[in-house]
Amino acid sequence: MPVNLNEANFKSEVLQSPAPVLVDFGAEWCAPCKRLDPILEQLSARWNGRVRVVRVVVDENSSLAMQMQVMSVPTLILFVNGSEALRLVGLQSQEKIEAKINAVVG
C-alpha cells in the first residue's frame, strides 16, 4: 500500500530520497485514481524498494499539487535524485507505467 505524503514530509521522502520515487497525485472522489490503486500496489511489490511508490491526496495538499503543477488527477510523477524525471497524466495501463519507469531507472 503506497504511503500517503503531505507537504510536511514531501521534501524528506521524495526530494531527498536516494531511491527513485513514483508519486501518485490523486483524490478520493476520482474514479480513475481508484482504478490506478491496485496497479500501483502491484508495481510497488514488483519493484520491491527499487522504486518507492507514494501517494499525495491533492484535496488535502492543494498547495503542494499547485507547486508540482498537477492540473488533473491522476498524475504520476517519477522523481530521480530529487528532480522530476517522468510525468504521466491520466489513467495508464500497468504495462505502460512499468515500461516508462523502466526506461528511466533501468
As for how many domains the chain has, the answer is 1
Catalytic residue list: 30, 33
pTM for the structure as a whole? 0.96
Q: CA 24 to CA 22: how far, in whole Å? A: 7
CATH number of the domain encompassing residue 27: 3.40.30.10
pLDDT in tens, the chain (106 residues): 678 999 999 999 999 999 999 999 999 999 999 999 999 999 999 998 899 999 999 999 999 999 999 999 999 999 999 999 999 999 999 999 999 999 999 8
Whether 23 and 55 have beta carbons less than 8 Å apart is answered as yes
Range of the domain at 78: 3-105
